Amino acid sequence: MFRILSILVVLFIIQGCASKSYTTKLDTPIERKLVKIDYFSSIDSKSNQRLSASTGEELFVMNRYLPSAKEVVTIIPPTGNKFPLSAVWKGTHQFNDGSSGNLIVYTTPDYYKGNIGVILDDNDDIATNQPLVQVEGFKVGRRWKLDTNGKFFIVPSKNIDSWALRYGGNNDNKYIFEIVNKHESKNTEVLQTINVSEDKYLKGIIIRNVKVLGLSTDEYGVIEYQVTDVLGKS
């Protein structure tokens, strides 16, 4: 009788220590597919927006970026071990607490041997108010909060080109444009001055792979135009 009572006490203690688990292991892990964007810039080539600039104002600021070839995690977790900066993550479990809907738990062998993962939604955004969950081990179901939200995985990018085009006014039917440094110098530095005839301006000129199409001639020091990033058209 005493032995039976001892077993019941042990089982009660174990049940009290364990958290309720809302995770189910997937039969087939979900491989993460990195959607690699080869190039992107600060100019939306599809907007066809009609813009205007006065003498001394910038027509646009161009920033071109090249992304990394891999995802990284920079979030600091509340657990003892940090997230690996770069690792292979897979969707190994499904999470559903009855109100969250079906969410995916991503784990990696490089973080607690895959026993703890992060809950993400279909957009790879951190989901639920306690997105870190233990999916294997003695304390399966245990969860933690993260001091952030939004994307869990990021693709770092490098700024490879940063400059602006400034309108210098009209002189003797020549349109003056100045390429201004935005990246290599803290000061406003004119890298190049370009004089363009009114005819060429209205037909469109290409400066550093950006097309500037004049929509109106200079009137009281103001021009109207459209810009297109030639490299980003495709």
pLDDT tens per residue, range 192-211: 999 999 999 999 999 999 99
Contact 229, 43 (CB under 8 A): yes
Print the domain residue range for 110: 71-154
Digit-coded pLDDT (tens) for 211-227: 999 999 888 889 999 99
Domain count across the chain = 2
What's the rounded mean pLDDT across residues 108-124? 95
- What confidence category does residue 182 fall into, taking pLDDT thresholds of 50, 70 and 90? confident
Whether residues 53 and 119 share a domain: the answer is no
> Do the domain assignments include residue 5?
no
Whether residues 171 and 210 share a domain: the answer is yes
Whether residues 83 and 149 share a domain: the answer is yes
Q: Which of 134, 154, 174 is the last residue of a domain?
A: 154
Whether residues 78 and 149 share a domain: the answer is yes
Give percent of the chain with pLDDT exceeding 70: 86
What's the rounded mean pLDDT across residues 130-156? 93
> Do the domain assignments include residue 25?
no
Digit-coded pLDDT (tens) for 29-63: 998 876 556 677 888 767 788 999 999 999 999 99
> Do the domain assignments include residue 20?
no
Q: Is the pLDDT of residue 114 over 90?
A: yes
Strands (E), 44-99: 51-54, 58-67, 90-95
Q: Which of 154, 184, 201 is the last residue of a domain?
A: 154
Q: Is the pLDDT of residue 8 over 80?
A: no
DSSP string, 87-138: ---EEEEEE--SSS-SEEEEE-TTTGGGTEEEEE-TTSBB-SSS-EEE-SST
State the pLDDT at residue 9: 42
What's the rounded mean pLDDT across residues 73-91? 90
Lowest mean pLDDT among 60-74, 109-123, 176-190: 176-190
> Do the domain assignments include residue 18?
no
